[in-house]
């Protein structure tokens, strides 16, 4: 998933149920990408966040023509983390829908 830009099955990641305070990091290079405070339950089956850690990710339009999605990649190693959508809650209105297998979790 991290290198081939695919999406894991919904509800397959143990990170969906993670509720502790901590940091989500890129599984490829360990760069911290999301704080637990930004996590919310989106009901989609993937770990979702309102915003990344500033400067941690880069985005680009998805290569699939019939879907209007934006890919999210690790700034340091380029690993594919997931997608971002404009249907999230306040304060950003964004939903960073991430692949759990593309991240690790470290307790704060």
User: Which residues are designated catalytic?
Assistant: 97
- CA-based nearest residue to 98, from 4, 29, 1: 1
Instruction: Please report which helix (H) or strand (E) contains residue 73, including its range.
Output: strand 70-74
Alpha-carbon distance values, 67 to 2, 85, 91 (Å):
20, 11, 25
Question: Is the sign of the CA dihedral 6, 8, 13, 19 positive or negative?
Answer: positive
23 exposure class (CB count in 10 Å sphere: 0-12, 13-18, 19+): middle
């Amino acid at each position: 998933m991290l290198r081939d830009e695919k999406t894991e099955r919904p509800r397959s990641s143990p990170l969906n149920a993670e509720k502790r305070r901590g940091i989500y990091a890129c599984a490829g290079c360990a760069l911290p990408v999301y704080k637990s405070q930004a996590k919310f339950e989106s009901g989609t089956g993937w770990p979702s966040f309102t915003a990344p850690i500033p400067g941690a990710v880069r985005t680009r339009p998805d290569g699939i023509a019939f879907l209007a999605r934006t890919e999210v990649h690790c700034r340091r190693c380029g690993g594919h983390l997931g997608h971002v959508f404009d249907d999230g809650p306040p304060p950003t209105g964004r939903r960073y829908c991430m692949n759990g297998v593309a991240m690790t979790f470290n307790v704060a």
